[in-house]
Amino acid sequence: MEKDFIIAGFGGQGVLLAGEVLANGFMIDDKMVTWYPSYGAEMRGGTVNCSVVMADEDVSAVQKSQADYIIVLNQASFDKYTSWVRKGGTIIVNSSLANIKKVRDDINYVFVPITQMAQEKLGNIKMSNVLALGILSKVSKLITLSTLEKALKNVIHPHRMNLMPKNIEALKLGYEYDLLPILG
Amino acid sequence: MSVQVFKIPNSLKKDAKYTFCPGCDHGVAVRLVAEVLEEMGLTENAILAASIGCSVTLYDFLNVDALEAPHGRALAEATGIKRARPDKFVFTYQGDGDFASIGLAESMHAALRGEKLSAICINNTTYGMTGGQLGPTTIMGQITTTSPTGRNKEYYGYPIKIAEHIALCDGTAYSARVSLDSVANIKKAKQAIKKAFEVQVKGLGFGFVEILSTCPTNWRMTPEQAHERVKNEMMPVFKPGVYKDITVNNQ
Amino acid sequence: MVECLTGKKILIKGNYAIANAAVLAGCQCYFGYPITPQSEIGEFMSGKMQELGRSYVSAESELAAINMTIGACATGAKAMSSSSSCAIALMQEALSYAASDELPVVLVSVMRGGPGLGNIYSSQGDYFQTTKGGGNGDYKLIALAPSTVQECVDLTYKAFYLAHKYKNPTVLLADGLLGQMMAPVEFKPYPYPEIDNSEWALTGAKGRNSRIIRSYAPLADEQCVFLEKLFNKYKQIEENETEWEEIGTEDADIVLVSFGSTFRNIKTAAKICRQKGLKVGVFRPITLYPFPHKRLNELADRVKKIISVEVNMGQMINDIKLSVDGKVPVELIHKPVGAPPAPEDIAAQVEELA
């Protein structure tokens, strides 16, 4: 089995970090995994993305033009990456910053007001990225919340472990997104 | 009773073949460097980063370990040597073209970083080894093989005053310009070299001496005329003096 | 920032993996100047070297950086620089000197797009720059090409070892993809013996004659003798150190050849081809110099076609053609710059060429 993931959004939304947590999670689960970012000039104010490939055996290619799961945290990424979703795949859309609109009928759409939830339930929009991973965990069933918790410990700097409880809360909130009344 | 009044310093190779032109001041400068190395007890602990130009042959005369750098890169290689072996005495001996033209970036940045290095630069207002072309220190009006009607500002711009520039770098501990045109000035030159070496030994920063020197062959002059030129034409433009010395107050 | 020696698998970027491996290999001095896509190496080194009491210099240029590396290596120290394409171009003069001076310079080259300023995306356009050289005169650089992040670690160790064993500048040739990607890596201790350099290192002429490290041979005969000696050394390197990997070549009709990060994609392409009934094997030079000419020549006796897959306009293909010496046709599948060609695309082109 091999699965491809892309996380995309504005610079500053923590998409690279979210990808790093996801990739660490797959490593903890003893999967083969690669992470690849957009870098350089692309990072200056524009959209940022990273792709994660998880496989049972060797990763077949690091950079691909399709993915099974794509998380888009803003409108620009939604516009760009809708066509990248593999047939039967899923796109998780941050409906706080992107319009709820389905243009394909061969993929699954999951609209969640991620930024709004992060602001209202966690008091910090910077938690959007980790919250999105919680949603991915639920939707994909390819990685558990407890693995993602361990992965967060690998990624968060040892001096900033005080941030862990809030991040775990964000993961859980994302995982339970469909139990909550969604606004709008 | 016999008194020894002259001896060849141990830092000089006894069997070296003299390769400089008659009347060239490189010979005097090399001798001064050798004497200071010996007097300060540095010979066995010294590593030279050699340059390109007539100055390259220094390693043929001195009993010190040496690494030959590409043109202009002596102070980069010296930086590498010193950073790898901070316990060693590391110095360069370069011409004005090597130090202040092709190697200006390396020279200035070694000074700005305050590398614990000592650099000697021979300023003879021309590229000696390649046959007397216009260099970074060629003075206004000077005729060279590439300034056949003399250096003028419209076509060639201006010469660089090296010792003053190096003195402006915050990492420089000592910067001086000396001349070898007279016995009195040769003595001053030796003191300056000693000072530039001392600031490294004491770990104070970058030590630098610019030595005004003759190039009789390319100037088309006798040795005597060449020394007259140093005094009458070069010294008014490149004024000898100590431009920075952090070991002295009121700098 | 990662620990030096973790003893467990960690997820790490190729650039950090290279830098951390250099530290573990005992690199005492790092000299560099920033350039994308390898700046993380210098960033890591700036902190780690200070922490360990070793040397780091933010050089004023790549020219200065590589010459500082030469200076440090002349004292016998393990020293390195790292850079990328257009800035490696600036270093060519010094690499020629280092080869001639026989100094153990280690240079990490993380390829980006060219020529000129090009772009910051991954590329394999500096195969020629590395293996044919841009410096003057007859010389060779040992060149190691990792294909995974783990190999970035293993071959960084090897680069230090070979550089010192043969007193020869050695390049670790990575690319933007390897430098920027993350993958799980294990850092094991530096596995190679330390090389004695007391016979040649510049340490001050105490109790011995002074030593001069130079490439200047004023007499023509001297230079002839020196070059013969240098090339005898290269012959030894070719005999002892040529390294490659091959999979599925035993029964292959077609062999795909790639170096570096592109290898992953040809492995996948070969699997796709096998599913379609084509007997395809893969081959990867690990050392680009010395190049596995002999092995490719042997393979050419029994395969029908060799295809070079590269992210450039076709560079390594020239060495493959030299290797097979006309025995079989050698074709090219390539992308000019960027991500390696997709495995499905490679497989489709192989089918066309078969």
Contacts of residue B50, defined as CB under 8 A and 6 or more positions apart, other chains included, come to B56, B58, B59, B66, B67, B68, B69, B74, B92, B93, C214
In angstroms, the first-to-last Cα distance of chain A is 37
Q: Is residue A161 part of a domain?
A: yes
Q: How far is CA C80 from the centre of its chain?
A: 13
Predicted structure pTM score: 0.95
Tell me how many helices (H) and strands (E) chain A has: 6, 6
Q: CA separation (Å) from B183 to B186, B187, B188, B190?
A: 5, 6, 9, 11
Nearest chain A CA: its distance from C61 CA (Å): 20
**Domains in chain B, please, with CATH?**
26-245 (3.40.50.970)
- CB-CB neighbors (< 8 A) of B83 in chain C: 29, 55, 57, 68, 71-72
pLDDT of the residue at A183:
39
- CB-CB neighbors (< 8 A) of C72 in chain B: 80-81, 83-84
Contacts of residue C40, defined as CB under 8 A and 6 or more positions apart, other chains included, come to C13, C15, C16, C19, C179
Nearest CA among C224, C280, C273, C232 for reference residue C252: C280
**The listed CATH number (1.20.1250.20, 3.40.50.970, 3.30.200.20, 1.10.357.10) that belongs to domain C10-199+229-240:** 3.40.50.970
Q: Which two tokens stand for residue C246?
A: 């091959």
Query: C71 and B45 in contact by Cβ < 8 A?
Result: no
Neighbours of B162 (CB within 10 A): 25
Which CATH number covers residue A17? Answer: 3.40.920.10
Paired with C83 in beta bridges are C109
In the block, which residue shows the tokens 């933010």?
C58
Paired with C309 in beta bridges are C333
Q: CA separation (Å) from C184 to A20, C9, C59?
A: 11, 6, 32
Classify residue B230 by its DSSP letter: I
Q: Is residue A151 part of a domain?
A: yes
Q: Does B115 touch chain C (CB under 8 A)?
A: no
Give the integer Cα–Cα distance in Å for B99 and B54.
13
Q: What is the ipTM of this complex?
A: 0.94
Q: Is residue A144 part of a domain?
A: yes
Domain boundaries of chain C, sorted by first residue: 10-199+229-240, 245-353
Q: Give residue A64's domain range.
A: 2-179
**Which residue type, as a one-letter code, is found at position A123?**
G
Query: C343 and A61 in contact by Cβ < 8 A?
Result: yes
- CB-CB neighbors (< 8 A) of A25 in chain C: none
Query: B106 and C64 in contact by Cβ < 8 A?
Result: yes
Crossing angle of the two packed helices C293-300 and C316-324, in degrees rounded to 10: 60
pLDDT (tens place) for every residue of chain C, 354 residues total: 555 676 789 999 999 999 999 999 999 999 999 999 999 999 999 999 999 999 999 999 999 999 999 999 999 999 999 999 999 999 999 999 999 999 999 999 999 999 999 999 999 999 999 999 889 999 999 999 999 999 999 999 999 999 999 999 999 999 999 999 999 999 999 999 999 999 999 999 999 999 999 987 778 899 999 999 999 999 999 999 999 999 999 999 999 999 999 999 999 999 999 999 999 999 999 999 999 999 999 999 999 999 999 999 999 999 999 999 999 999 999 999 999 999 999 999 999 999
Tell me if the domain spanning C245-353 has CATH number 3.40.50.2300: no
Q: CA separation (Å) from C68 to B75, C119, C201?
A: 8, 27, 15
Q: Is residue A152 part of a domain?
A: yes
Q: Is residue A184 part of a domain?
A: no
- Counted domains in chain A: 1
Give the integer Cα–Cα distance in Å for C75 and C72.
6
Classify residue A135 by its DSSP letter: H
Decide if C10-199+229-240 and C245-353 have a common fold.
yes
Chain segment A16-25, per-residue pLDDT in tens: 999 999 999 9
Residue A42 has pLDDT above 60, yes or no: no
- CB-CB neighbors (< 8 A) of C97 in chain B: 69-70
